[in-house]
């Protein structure tokens, strides 16, 4: 009732006004009827009625909601005040919009990879079953693979904790034939996957238990994105057949657009059902992630306890074959445990989570500096408006009302800045991706502005307006009208205490921007260290390749010969200087290791099988003994080249030539004795960062279980892209069935530095921004101080002070602020540095050089910012300054 009246209060007011007129007319008519003269009759009627204005006001007040009305008034007044100083408003709004926008953008990223739940029904019920503490690297391990298929089948049949369970695994496979093949992201799912998750088909049907059968699988489900981009959104009824992962499959359905699989940041293209291979499931491939929906009333702890009870039987029944007793014992002692899985799994989360939190802290600090600048601006405005406020106080405005008025103004600024910031955040996210992603790479992340993001931006805005609104408002409402009116316009030497707030704000700004500058320098230098870091091998001019010939139907006996043929074809290409095959390309993340025993010492070593030209191609010198040659054939004695870490680890640094190493048996890899014939220096293994592990190389011809594929390292003097295209054409012409993938080694290695590039770019940008903001802040405060001290400076000049002395006086003032700021900032950066330790390469978080450089940079900025007002002060005409009084 009241709300309806509230929105119609103007109409009601007019209605009552008309009614009052009606009353007065009636009464006047009655008075005339009683015999009064017309003029007196109207006056008497008005007397009888009382004050119409008061009556209308009383009714109007009944229709309004007090606080709402006055807030609206405050906002309108604030709007007018801002429109009067458009420059101030623009600066404030733009800096807030950028600050809040940057914060929201980073938060959105965090939200997308870390906080948001999976787009399935009741994600909070999902939990994952894993081996507590992991499997210690035994067997073969796939990304996101926690358990083996035999383990999954036992868990599925025996578990009590879940109302429904499913397993899935994700990998990259090929689609198409021969030189036309392309990659696709495969999601392999158990029969109940879609039913337990509660995902409904967008088109057709999804996979069910009936689709699980003997290999190869014959049906697949496409993701919405893949269906749209690769299948052209075609009608399923007409039948879509694809040659995926070496078998023909029918696309029977499409998942809804919001469903991206279980791994945040790695969306899938096609989902295929689990199938049973002819020769049974392998017990040593940790390839699946097992999840389920907890039964009502079951907690994670209770489920974990139930799984622990189940564990001994389950592991006892699935011991992988052909292992050494040590591994067997370890395997049988594994325990299953249950972990929450409402947000799915994500490698991106592991990799980028920490960086993003750090970036959020950085952008938060930048926002703080921007707010501090606004606080100073508002303080200056408040003192400029001192007289107005004094008059209002003198006229009886309550302090609370005045405070509300001033807060409304800053709230208005924050509100507009926040709205613009939210609008900007999506664009900023895209700019960030564009800045850090290498050409041609994309990120599969859904960046959405959901309630969490809105809440965050809102909180940031409230925080801002509290910071820069409350200070000036409190001060203004604390001023006594008498002194304020007296002081306005009278320039006296300002008391120290009066400006302590401004000083404190500037000191805070300086110290925070020092922290940000230190962080920026650390990350930029760390990134540079990585770029210039020598991994111990050639990076530029190298093209990596992968050749697969499983579609050629060659008998395994011919594989080795065919690989040599392919390599010769590549080496014969004009422009190719050298080339070699390898089972594992270095620095790109993949890993291949075996257990080894040398005498009594046992441990793990990386293993790579390479063709004779490998060390030459990669520019790795053989420092002792020899490399491989064509005499190291399949029939010859087994030989190995090891790195220096290997020698230290297993031979205590003794001369290794002539020693033998024995590999520990695994399925398809029987225990074999290799004679060490050469030593290479330590090179990085699969990552630029990290310590070099023990490494062993063996001839490609002696690989125990070869497959119909090989890796390639090609050295050329032509640019990698052009070289790749030439080689690809040449191979496609001669071997159309062979799958050929080539790419620029150096580019691939650098794209692995995405995180470092992001930290360096973003923190560098924000570090500079912080410095600029601090400069603006310092400039503002020093100018303000100088204006306040005009008289004093005028008198000093009149009494014969040198101009240089005036400059020095002002600069000393700035210097004091700088000193306090830098000292606190240095202390803060030492504290904050600990959080960044794990993200730095070749640097300690308390790097003195960085600290000094940042402090010097800041000092330079501060000197520039304060010199201008100091110079202006010294140019003051003493007569003019004194006469103005």
Partner 1 sequence: MGKKPIQTDILQGTLDMLILQTLAPGAAHGHTIAYAIERRSEEVLLVEHGSLYPALHRLEDRGWIASFWGTSENNRKARYYRLTAAGRKQLSAEMSRWERVVRAVNQVLRPAEE
Instruction: Write the CA distances from 574 to 578, 711, 717, 803, integer angstroms.
Output: 11, 20, 10, 75
Q: Which stretch binds partner 1 (CB under 8 A): 43-51, 482-490, 646-654, 666-674?
A: 43-51
Is 801 buried (19+), middle (13-18) or exposed (0-12) by CB count in 10 A?
middle
- Report the site for partner 1 in 523-552 (rule: CB under 8 A): none
Of 27-35, 87-95, 387-395, 577-585, the window that binds partner 1 (rule: CB under 8 A) is 27-35
Site stretch for partner 1 (CB under 8 A), options 22-30, 207-215, 664-672, 727-735? 22-30
- In angstroms, how far is CA 209 from the centroid of its own chain? 38
Residue 51 touches partner 1, criterion: CB under 8 A: yes
- 17 by Cβ neighbours in 10 Å (0-12 / 13-18 / 19+) ranks as middle
CB of 42 to partner 1, least distance (A): 15
Q: Does 306 bind partner 1 (CB under 8 A)?
A: no
For residue 598, how many other CB atoms are within 10 A of its CB? Answer: 20
Site string for partner 1, 758-797 (x = CB under 8 A): ----------------------------------------
Q: Which is nearer to partner 1, 40 or 316 (CB)?
A: 40
The SS3 assignment for 172 reads strand
Q: Does 20 sit near partner 1 (CB under 8 A)?
A: yes
Closest CA to 842 of 482, 527, 382: 527
Q: Based on CB atoms, which residue is closest to partner 1, 55 or 823?
A: 55
How many residues interact with partner 1 (rule CB under 8 A)?
27
Largest CA distance in the chain: 140
Beta strands in 397-460 (DSSP E): none
With binding defined as CB under 8 A, does residue 7 bind partner 1?
Answer: no
Segment contacting partner 1 by CB under 8 A, of 11-19, 409-417, 524-532, 732-740: 11-19
3-state secondary structure of 500: helix
Among 8, 14, 40, 49, binds partner 1 (CB under 8 A): 49
Q: Which is nearer to partner 1, 49 or 592 (CB)?
A: 49
Give the whole-angstrom CA distance, residue 707 versus residue 669: 13
User: In angstroms, how far is CA 498 from the centroid of its own chain?
Assistant: 43
The structure tokens listed for 227 are 């269906």
Smallest distance, Å, CB 59 to partner 1? 5
Q: Does the protein bind partner 1 through residue 2 (CB under 8 A)?
A: yes
CB of 2 to partner 1, least distance (A): 7
Residues 236-295 that bind partner 1 (CB under 8 A): none
For the window 54-93, what string marks contact with partner 1 as x by the rule CB under 8 A? xx--xx--x-------------------------------
Stretch that binds partner 1, among 13-21, 120-128, 281-289, 501-509 (CB under 8 A): 13-21
Which stretches within 654-719 are classed as H helix? none
Contacting range for partner 1; rule: CB under 8 A; set: 23-31, 66-74, 484-492, 616-624:
23-31
Angle between helices 399-436 and 86-110 (to 10 degrees): 50
Secondary element (H or E) of residue 571? helix 559-571
Q: C-alpha dihedral over 155, 158, 160, 166, to 10 degrees?
A: 40
Stretch that binds partner 1, among 17-25, 401-409, 587-595, 655-663 (CB under 8 A): 17-25
Confirm or reject binding of residue 27 to partner 1 (CB under 8 A): yes
Is residue 35 involved in binding partner 1 (CB under 8 A)? no
Q: Is 639 in the site for partner 1 (CB under 8 A)?
A: no
Task: Name the DSSP class of 345.
Answer: B
Shortest Å, Cβ 26 to partner 1? 4
| CA-only gyration radius of the chain, Å | 38
50 binds partner 1 (CB under 8 A): yes
The smaller minimum CB distance to partner 1, of residues 50 and 800, is found at: 50
The reply to whether 23 sits near partner 1 by the rule CB under 8 A is: yes
CB of 1 to partner 1, least distance (A): 6
Under rule CB under 8 A, residue 232 binds partner 1: no
Closer residue to partner 1 in complex, CB, 5/385: 5
Helix (H, G, I), strand (E, B) or coil at 531: helix
Shortest Å, Cβ 23 to partner 1: 5
Token pair for residue 273? 């059902």
CA angle at 289 for the pair 449 and 340, rounded to the nearest 5° = 55
| Total residue length of the chain | 885
Residue 484 vs residues 375, 389, 881: alpha-carbon distances, Å: 20, 9, 21
User: CB of 265: closest distance to partner 1 in angstroms?
Assistant: 58
DSSP conformation letters of 800-867: T--HHHHHHHHHHHHHHHHHHHHHHHHHHHHHHHHHHGGG-SS--TT-HHHHHHHHHHHHHHHHHHHH
Note whether 41 binds partner 1 by CB under 8 A: no
Rounded-to-integer distance, Cα 155 and Cα 613, Å = 48
Shortest Å, Cβ 25 to partner 1:
6
Instruction: Of 198, 218, 227, give the one whose Cα is nearest residue 272.
Output: 218
Contact with partner 1 (CB under 8 A): which of 8, 11, 14, 22?
A: 22
Which ranges of 34-51 does DSSP label H, i.e. alpha helix?
A: 38-49
Q: Which one, 12 or 339, has the nearer CB to partner 1?
A: 12
- What span, in angstroms and rounded, lies between the C-alpha atoms of 655 and 24? 120
Q: Does 799 engage in binding with partner 1 (CB under 8 A)?
A: no
User: Residue 393 contacts by C-beta under 8 Å, 6 or more apart in sequence?
Assistant: 399, 402, 477, 479, 480, 481, 484
Alpha helix positions (H), 148-272? 149-158, 193-197, 224-229
Options 47-55, 85-93, 382-390, 500-508: segment touching partner 1 (CB under 8 A): 47-55
Q: How far is the CB of 468 from partner 1 (least distance, A)?
A: 42
In the complex with partner 1, which residue's Cβ is closer, 47 or 490?
47
**C-beta closer to partner 1: residue 29 or 317:** 29
Q: Which of 19, 301, 450, 802 binds partner 1 (CB under 8 A)?
A: 19
Closest C-alpha among 223, 181, 183 to residue 201: 223
Which span sits near partner 1 by CB under 8 A: 53-61, 503-511, 524-532, 871-879? Answer: 53-61
5 near partner 1 (CB under 8 A): yes
52 lies in the site for partner 1, by CB under 8 A: yes
- Report in angstroms how near the CB of residue 16 gets to partner 1 at its nearest: 6
CB of 35 to partner 1, least distance (A): 16
Is 183 within 8 Å of 304 (Cβ atoms)? Answer: no
Name which position in 8, 10, 11, 29 contacts partner 1 (CB under 8 A): 29
Residue 40 binds to partner 1 (criterion: CB under 8 A): no
Q: Which of 8, 11, 38, 48 binds partner 1 (CB under 8 A)?
A: 48
* 3-class secondary structure, 39: helix
Report the residue from 16, 452, 659, 747 that binds partner 1 according to the rule CB under 8 A: 16
Verify binding: residue 14, partner 1, rule CB under 8 A: no
Using the rule CB under 8 A, is 26 a contact of partner 1? yes
- Interface segment toward partner 1; rule CB under 8 A; list 21-29, 121-129, 774-782, 863-871: 21-29
Burial per residue of 632-651, b for 16 or more beta-carbon CB atoms within 10 angstroms, e otherwise: beeeeebbbbbbbbbbebbb
For 775, the 3-state DSSP assignment is: helix
**Which residues form the interface with partner 1 (CB under 8 A)?**
1-2, 5, 12, 15-16, 18-20, 22-23, 25-27, 29-30, 47-52, 54-55, 58-59, 62
């Amino acid at each position: 009732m009241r709300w309806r009246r509230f929105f119609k209060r103007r109409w009601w007011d007019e209605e009552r006004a008309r009614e009052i007129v009606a009353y007065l007319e009636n009464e006047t008519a009655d008075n005339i009827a009683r015999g009064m003269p017309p003029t007196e009759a109207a006056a008497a009627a008005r007397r009888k009625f009382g004050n119409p204005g008061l009556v209308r006001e009383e009714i109007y007040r009944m229709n309004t909601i007090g606080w709402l009305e006055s807030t609206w008034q405050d906002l309108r007044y604030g709007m007018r005040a801002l429109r009067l100083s458009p420059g101030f408003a623009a600066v404030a709004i733009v800096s807030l919009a950028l600050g809040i926008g940057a914060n929201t953008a980073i938060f959105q990223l965090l939200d997308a990879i870390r906080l948001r739940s999976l787009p399935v029904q009741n994600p909070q019920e999902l939990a994952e079953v894993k081996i507590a503490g992991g499997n210690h690297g035994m067997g073969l391990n796939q990304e996101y693979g926690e358990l083996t298929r035999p383990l999954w089948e036992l868990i599925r049949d025996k578990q009590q904790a879940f109302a429904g369970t499913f397993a899935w695994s994700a990998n990259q496979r090929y689609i198409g034939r021969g030189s036309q093949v392309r990659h696709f992201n495969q999601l392999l799912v158990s029969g109940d996957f879609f039913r337990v998750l509660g995902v409904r088909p967008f088109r057709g049907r999804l996979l069910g238990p009936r689709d699980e059968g003997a290999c190869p699988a014959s049906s697949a489900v496409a993701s919405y994105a893949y269906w749209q981009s690769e299948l052209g959104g075609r009608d399923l009824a007409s039948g879509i057949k694809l040659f995926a992962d070496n078998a023909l499959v029918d696309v029977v359905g499409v998942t809804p657009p919001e469903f991206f699989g279980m791994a945040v940041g790695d969306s899938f293209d096609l989902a295929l059902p689990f199938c049973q291979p002819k020769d049974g499931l392998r017990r040593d491939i940790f390839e699946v992630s097992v999840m389920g929906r907890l039964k009502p009333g079951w907690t994670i702890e209770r489920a974990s306890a139930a799984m622990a009870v189940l564990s001994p039987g389950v592991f006892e029944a699935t011991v992988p074959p052909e292992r050494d007793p040590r591994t067997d014992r370890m395997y049988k002692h594994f325990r299953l445990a249950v972990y929450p899985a409402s947000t799915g799994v994500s490698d991106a989360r592991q990799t980028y989570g920490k960086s993003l939190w750090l970036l959020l802290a950085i952008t938060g600090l930048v926002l703080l500096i921007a707010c501090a600048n606004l606080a100073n601006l508002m303080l200056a405005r408040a003192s400029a408006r001192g007289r107005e406020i004094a008059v209002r106080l003198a006229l009886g405005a309550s302090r609370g009302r005045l405070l509300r008025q001033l807060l409304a103004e800053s709230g208005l600024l924050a509100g507009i800045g926040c709205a613009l910031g939210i609008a900007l955040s999506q664009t900023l996210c895209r700019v960030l991706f564009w800045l850090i992603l290498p050409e041609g790479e994309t990120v599969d992340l859904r960046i959405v502005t959901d309630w969490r993001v809105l809440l965050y931006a809102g909180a940031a805005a409230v925080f801002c307006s509290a910071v820069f609104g409350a200070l000036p408002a409190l001060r203004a409402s604390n001023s006594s009208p008498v002194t304020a009116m007296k002081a306005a316009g009278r320039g006296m030497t300002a008391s120290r205490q009066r400006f302590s707030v401004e000083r404190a704000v500037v000191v805070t700004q300086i110290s925070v921007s020092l922290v940000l500058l230190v962080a920026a320098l650390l990350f930029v230098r760390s990134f540079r260290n990585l770029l210039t870091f020598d991994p111990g091998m050639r990076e530029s001019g190298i093209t990596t390749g992968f050749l697969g010939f499983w579609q050629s139907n060659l008998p395994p006996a011919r594989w080795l010969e065919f690989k040599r043929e392919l390599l010769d074809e590549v080496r014969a290409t004009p422009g190719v200087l050298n080339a070699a095959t390898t089972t594992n390309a270095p620095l790109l993340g993949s890993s291949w290791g075996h257990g080894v025993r040398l005498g009594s010492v046992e441990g793990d070593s990386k293993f790579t099988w390479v063709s004779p030209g490998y060390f030459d191609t990669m520019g790795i010198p053989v420092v002792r003994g020899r490399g491989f040659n064509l005499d190291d054939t399949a029939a010859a004695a087994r030989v190995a080249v090891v790195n220096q870490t290997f020698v230290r680890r297993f031979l205590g640094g003794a001369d290794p030539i002539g020693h033998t190493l024995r590999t520990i048996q695994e399925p398809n890899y029987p225990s074999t004795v290799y004679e060490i014939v050469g030593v290479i220096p330590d090179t990085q293994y699969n990552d630029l960062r990290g310590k070099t592990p023990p490494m062993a190389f063996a001839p490609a011809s002696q690989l125990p279980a070869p497959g119909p594929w090989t890796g390639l390292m090609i050295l050329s003097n032509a640019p990698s892209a052009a070289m790749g295209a030439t080689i690809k054409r040449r191979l496609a012409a001669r071997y159309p069935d062979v799958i050929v993938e080539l790419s620029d080694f150096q580019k691939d290695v650098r794209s692995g530095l995405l995180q470092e590039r992001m930290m360096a770019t973003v923190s560098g940008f924000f570090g500079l921004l912080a410095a600029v903001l601090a400069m603006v802040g310092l400039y503002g405060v020093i100018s303000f101080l100088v204006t306040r001290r005009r008289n004093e400076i005028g008198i000093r000049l009149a009494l014969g002070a040198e101009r240089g002395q005036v400059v020095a006086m002002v600069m000393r003032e700035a210097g004091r602020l700088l000193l306090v700021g830098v000292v606190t900032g240095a202390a803060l950066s030492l504290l904050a540095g600990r959080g960044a330790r794990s993200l730095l390469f070749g640097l300690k978080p308390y790097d003195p050089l960085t600290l000094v450089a940042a402090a010097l940079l800041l000092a330079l900025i501060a000197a520039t910012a304060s010199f201008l007002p100091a110079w202006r002060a010294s140019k003051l005409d003493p007569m003019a300054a004194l006469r103005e009084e």
